[in-house]
Amino acid sequence: MKLKLITLAVAATLAAPSAFATLTPEAVSGVQKIILSGATAPDGFIESSVKEMLQPGYKSYRDNAAATLAFQHQAWYGLAKAGIPGVAAGTPILFVKRSKGGSVWGVDPVARASRIESLDFSACTVGGADLNGKVYDYFCPTKGLDPDSPNFNNPALNNGVPSDFGVSDVSPALFKGPYNVEFGQTALTAAEVAKLTVKPVNTLIMGLVATNDVPLSTVITRADYGNMLMGNIQDWTQIDANLGGNTQVVACRRVNGSGTQASYNWFFNNFPCESAFAGAKAPTSMGVNGSGGDNASGVISGSGTQADPYLIDPTQGYTVLNNSTSGDVRNCLARAQSRTDHLFKGDDGKYYKALFSNSGDPFKAIGVLSADSYGSESGWTFRNIYGAGSFAPATQTASAGATGIAPSKANLLTGAWDFAVELTMQYRNANVTNSQGDVITPLAGTKKAFADELIKRAGDPAKIALNSKKEAYAALPDYYNPFANPTNEAHVALGSHQGNMCQPMVRKY
């Protein structure tokens, strides 16, 4: 009998890891595969939440692009811990986070149940460290096509899968055409939006940023910044007559469909909240496919390839540059200050280059960035609103003699800094038939229970307190009482838009 028990114990020990050792976790009996698509800013919150919901021994995956710093797909596979409401302990969970595309991919493909590119777990290989030094158990290729692919609607060529829920830097109500929809796509209809259940997660500071060539003594108001983005103010001397050097405005903005760009369109342009009453103003844009857009120089030459990009000359006057990522915006600002040419890829798939080297003087540029970029300041700083001076979010300190309102954590909590957006997560609440004819049911059962718990944990003030960029975020009073304990008081805002940025902020405490 003793020998039999030992034999069984050894067999159990050998059998337990076998599910984790497989390169095809989708094949595990009873596995619950859950796909989250959308914004990249909350990736840290999401990863930590998933890992704390899985038992030790879980496995990690990323896309095959190990030669690149940026991942576009990550996944974790393991057994659910006890204590998750609606999820039995030991349930095998395969959680996939798609970060390709940004915020709008947490809204439109979810509402439409679109097939999208995802990890191909049937062809994974043993992993290792990527260029960031982060270790993954497996590297996997991707499969499927995105809605912007010319072969997307051909079922024979598209074996992608829909996401179960999405995450966006701003609420789905803001992704309206023509300014907040990704290139080549159409806005959701009211009926499509109605099939989404939207849940607020946390709030994030958005910033006013300017290159160091803009003196700290220059006072910047909301009207000043907004009108520079709208093209109504094209020269800094309209704000400060004492400025010299390159005084033309350079706007380093994001592409349409970016959640960050949508937040600026909301705050400064009243779009889309006032669009029905003709109260919105169009943001200026670079244009696409070689269009000069609102640039003073237009596109002076080039064919749009990486070797022969469209060239824009910012010395000619007002210049707008549509950047695909926040990293591109940061580079745009740094290069405007250092007079280094800025090569970047537009949302039309074409390459553009701003010839900052054409001038012997730095450029006075503004940008479209959240405080999630703090610690990356290089040649530029976050600025106070309605006053002068800069603010360092990482240390929560203002420059000497600063006036106005700072983008501080304290001001975020009270609502004094009201240029802040509420990150949301959303999932379908009704059946949706996608363009390939697949009938996709709402998120339900164990998968919904796991998602609901992750949504709550992602906004946990304790998690924000541990995040490396905690001063950029605050939890929302929709789930947490700011006065429940010292951690809450330091990281929970007093009010919320309750998942709809077009709704006035509601003070709950």
* Residue 42 lies inside a defined structural domain of this protein: yes
Burial category of 69 from C-beta neighbours within 10 Å (exposed 0-12, middle 13-18, buried 19 and up): exposed
pLDDT of residue 65: 63
**Residue 505 DSSP SS3:** coil
Same domain for 257 and 373: yes
* Residue 384 lies inside a defined structural domain of this protein: yes
Is the pLDDT reported for residue 73 higher than 60? Answer: yes
* Identity of the highest mean pLDDT range in 88-92, 324-328, 393-397: 88-92
Same domain for 294 and 210: yes
pLDDT of residue 8: 31
* Residue 336 lies inside a defined structural domain of this protein: yes
Same domain for 361 and 221: yes
Last residue of a domain, one of 387, 420, 453: 420
Last residue of a domain, one of 420, 444, 470: 420
Is the pLDDT reported for residue 13 higher than 70? Answer: no
Q: pLDDT digit string (tens) for 284-316?
A: 999 888 888 999 999 999 999 999 999 999 999
Same domain for 394 and 265: yes
Is the pLDDT reported for residue 483 higher than 90? Answer: yes
Is the pLDDT reported for residue 6 higher than 50? Answer: no
Average pLDDT over residues 343-347: 89
Same domain for 211 and 151: no
What is the number of domains present in the chain?
Answer: 2
* Residue 196 lies inside a defined structural domain of this protein: no
Q: pLDDT digit string (tens) for 362-420?
A: 999 999 999 989 889 999 999 999 999 999 988 999 999 999 999 999 999 999 999 99
| Residue 219 structural domain | 204-420
Burial category of 9 from C-beta neighbours within 10 Å (exposed 0-12, middle 13-18, buried 19 and up): exposed
Same domain for 146 and 83: yes
Helix %, strand %, coil % of the chain (to 5): 25, 25, 50
* Residue 453 lies inside a defined structural domain of this protein: no
* Residue 124 lies inside a defined structural domain of this protein: yes
* Residue 31 lies inside a defined structural domain of this protein: yes
Same domain for 151 and 269: no
Residue count (the chain): 509
Share of the chain above pLDDT 90, in %: 68
Burial category of 405 from C-beta neighbours within 10 Å (exposed 0-12, middle 13-18, buried 19 and up): middle
Read off the amino acid at residue 450: F
Same domain for 210 and 156: no
pTM of the predicted model as reported, rounded to 2 decimal places: 0.82
**Residue 122 DSSP SS3:** helix
Residue 95's pLDDT band (cuts 50, 70, 90): very high
Q: pLDDT digit string (tens) for 227-265?
A: 999 999 999 999 999 999 999 999 999 998 888 999 999
Q: Give the mean pLDDT of the chain.
A: 90
* Residue 9 lies inside a defined structural domain of this protein: no
Same domain for 247 and 305: yes
